[in-house]
Structure 1
Amino acid sequence: MLDFKVAKDTCTRCGLCVADCPAHVIDTAEGFPLITAEKEAGCYRCQHCFAVCPTGAVSILGLDPAESTPLTGDWRPDPAQLETLIKGRRSVRRYKPENLEPELMQRLLEVAWHAPTGVNTRQVRFTVIDDRDKLASFRDELLAGIKRLVQDNALPEGLAFFADFVKLWEEQGVDVLFRGAPHLLVASVSSKAVSPLQDCVIALSYFELFAQANGVGTVWDGLAKIAIADLVPEAQATLGIPEDHTLGYCMAFGKPAVQYARTVQHRGALIHRV
């Protein structure tokens, strides 16, 4: 049930909710918006109608407009600061040996989960290792699995370099898989989703920017993704990732032990205008 309701005493009958509905399921009766029973199945549950109503007269899915953050006044971030954040973010590969505060981690995950998904399916699942000792144990499991492949000469073609990671850890204590980060975030989604890989990458992109805005370092961890998804797939069971999920990507994160002094200078954007 959509539980679509309109407070007639505050509805101005402006028509914004009708015009902004991407599924075109909102009609009007006696001038007031409504969604008929036969059109409910076509609703994307995107909440555009809920968000666009200037008076907060529209409610859907049992939500209370008064509990939302108002988008009034100068609520957008400063463009120059946002530009600096985007240009100044770095892939962090040196971390402090301590956990993030639980409250901060929860906030990062909750905000990142607002990232858009294909057809608003909202099925991205965040699997997070929230303790550095747990990640150390998981790293040992992955490296042990990779070592077995090395001993059996069973590393897939093109991935022989993973043998070097085992050697570096055993001989020098160098953690190439997670770069010494205390935490790992894995984004996965049902393989039946409309755009599983894209949904995961978009969600992690939102996580990274909000994390870095909060002083948290991140690194896109393709090596961990390969190790978990392709080399030691039993590690997915350790993480509790559902069997019917596509593992989109991984991101290691934590308090950075490095501070960068300036943005880098990339060459101009590759742009093709049509």
Structure 2
Amino acid sequence: MELLTVNQELCVKCGICAEVCPNGIIGMSAEGPQMLYEPACIACGHCTAVCPVAALDNVKAPLSKQVKLDQYPVINTETAYAFLRSRRSIRNYKKDKIAQEKILQLLDIARFAPSGCNSQGLSYVVIENPEKLKKITEATIEWLEKQIETNVEWAKPFAGLAEVYRKTGVDVVLREAPYLIVATVPQEFSLGHDNARFSLEYVELYAAAMGLGTCWAGFVEIAAGAQYKPILEAMEIPDGFAVAGVMMLGYPKHTYQRLVDRNPIKVTWLA
């Protein structure tokens, strides 16, 4: 079975499908588009999605699974600017439960984030059990203390963080977030970390649109990435998989009233 099929009655031989193919493996002939090298197809669906007359079908990106887009949804620049600038990392959460359907909706959009060569490859663990979350915080502090004790240079400035936890019991790691999203990948998957970054950034932005708050759990992610066993066990990460990204989730406890400034933009123009 050929990977690419063309409806000759519909095809107008415009060549757009060949032009947008990321790997340049679609060529044009008198009969229209043809696949030049099937093994290099990354199943991105560009060819079928761009065809103005729906003349193409691709086994790896079937036309039947695509949604007709009558008008490209563009948010006006003012709204987009305000939305992106007002996003904040949330470290204070309500205890309210989030419906499972809402979390699935949130994670579903992550499937459409960019990934290297359309490799995707992510799966997710959602943790809401308070005891497991507490174990993850405790294990992360233990791991951080080990780094400090062995004079790991980057960990030294965070000695106070571990001390605060030991003296007060305040959750300085997960901030008492009621949910934790863990992106996992096969251990041998070299693009896993990058793909998780893109994926969870989609989660972060879409969460804000849904009235939810998020914050990257950096210490947990680093410790889990270092294969610290107590954390992996608390997360129930299966053998052969690695943690590629970790994000807190919950309903924000507070509403921010102002937009905070950042460092001035630095741009170098090369004419």
AA in 2 matched with 1:228: A
Deviation at 1:34, TM superposition (A): 2.5
Indicate the residue corresponding to 2:133 in structure 1: 138
Q: After alignment, is 7-16 or 161-170 more displaced? A: 161-170
Q: Write the distance in 2 (CA, Å) between the matches of 1:146 and 1:224.
A: 9
Partners of 1:6 and 1:160 in 2: how far apart?
Answer: 62
Partner Cα separation in structure 2 for residue 264 and residue 145 of structure 1: 30
Given that residues 93 and 250 in structure 2 are in contact (C-alpha distance below 8 angstroms), is that contact kept between their aligned partners in structure 1? yes
Matched, 1:264 2:227: no
The counterpart of 1:81, out of the listed 55, 74, 79, is: 79
> CA RMSD for the aligned pairs?
3.1
> In the alignment, what sits opposite 1:235?
231
Paired letter, 1:116 = P
Q: How many aligned residue pairs are there?
A: 269
Q: 1:195 to 1:236 in 2, by over 3 A?
A: same
Q: Unmatched 5+ residue regions in structure 2?
A: none
The TM-score normalised by the length of structure 2 is: 0.84
Same amino acid, percent of matched pairs:
28
Which whole-Å deviations, capped at 9, do the CAs of 1:126-157 have from their partners, x for residues lacking one? 2322x2xx144232254157459869x95663
Aligned to 1:34: 34
Aligned to 1:186, what secondary structure does the other structure show?
strand
Q: How does 1:143-182 map to 2 (within 5 A)?
A: 143=138, 146-147=141-142, 157-158=152-153, 159=155, 168-169=164-165, 172-182=168-178
Task: Indicate how the Cα distance of structure 1 residues 231 and 123 shifts in structure 2: closer, same or farther if over 3 A, else same.
Answer: closer
User: What does residue range 1-274 of structure 1 map to in structure 2 within 5 Å?
Assistant: 3-35=3-35, 39-61=37-59, 63-65=61-63, 67-73=65-71, 75-129=73-127, 131=128, 134-143=129-138, 146-147=141-142, 157-158=152-153, 159=155, 168-169=164-165, 172-230=168-226, 232-274=228-270
What secondary structure does 2:229 align onto?
Answer: coil
CA distance in 1, matches of 2:144, 2:218: 19
| 1:2 to 1:207, Cα distance in 2 relative to 1, 3 A | farther
Task: Give the C-alpha shift of residue 24 in structure 1.
Answer: 2.0
Stretches of structure 1 lacking an aligned partner (at least 5 in a row): none
